[in-house]
Amino acid sequence: MLSLNVWTTKRWSLPEAVAGCARFGIGGIGLWRDKVADVGLDVAVTLIKDSGLEVTSLCRGGFFASPDAATDNRRAVDEAAALSARTLVLVAGGLPPGSKDLAAARENVLYGIAELAPYAAERGVKVSIEPLHPMFCADRAVVSTLGQALDICDQLGAPNVGVCVDTYHIWWDPRVYDQIARAGDRIQIFQVCDFLMPIPADALLGRGHVGDGVADIPGLARAVAATGYDGPVEVEIFNQEVWDAPGDETLRTLTGRHAEHLARILP
């Protein structure tokens, strides 16, 4: 099932994104908490329920170095529960201000997830650790590889803790195929997005439609499918040009690229 992550059509409100999915026959929607907050949680819950869309992810909890991380992450879990989200995506957060102690920051992530996992389990919420590309290690996520995310899963041994596999972040990793196989049924959500070259001035925005960059997304999708994953393919693109394009144009490209590159692998 194809899913639209709402940040792909950044200018659209949540109701506009929901309507867009209906127009293009997209069955899933990946939510961000800010877009949910814009309309209010209750309105969002009703809107999604009425639409019949599956909430394929809620982005995001994490940022474990923040002073209010514990409180905010519990709120994120509550929202994920209310929205019946398939998973709450956890972005680990970077180094604390001024710190260079990466090992301590990583240990803190482990503790943070260990604390959050039972709270989430009690509410029927799965959480997925998302490794981010190493260029975001200092400021966004000290979890940098799929192997590292799975090591955390192994250490916790909590059945509701898994991983988010996003092609943009992991395509370069020499161990990625081994680690996707190792992940097995712990892949809670598969996000697709291409890695554009050159990296733009704002490194966050170098994400492109499937096929526009350098990542072998069909190859990664085949590896994900080989684990038995038959869940959504969620398209999450941060890119100023994509954001400037009319939403319908973006959805046309997105559905077209899915049909061309991925539909035979993950229908």
Which residues contact a copy of itself by CB under 8 A? 95, 100-102, 106, 133-135, 137-139, 144-145, 147-148, 151, 171-175, 195, 197-201, 203, 214-216, 219
Nearer to a copy of itself, 27 or 219 (CB): 219
* Maximum alpha-carbon separation in the chain: 49
Name the residue with tokens 């309105």: 43
What's the closest the beta carbon of residue 50 comes to a copy of itself, in angstroms?
A: 41
Q: How far apart are CA 47 and CA 15, in angstroms?
A: 7
What's the closest the beta carbon of residue 177 comes to a copy of itself, in angstroms?
A: 8
Nearer to a copy of itself, 194 or 234 (CB): 194
Nearer to a copy of itself, 68 or 202 (CB): 202
What's the closest the beta carbon of residue 246 comes to a copy of itself, in angstroms?
A: 28
What's the closest the beta carbon of residue 10 comes to a copy of itself, in angstroms?
A: 20
What's the closest the beta carbon of residue 215 comes to a copy of itself, in angstroms?
A: 7
Nearer to a copy of itself, 122 or 178 (CB): 178
Nearer to a copy of itself, 216 or 241 (CB): 216
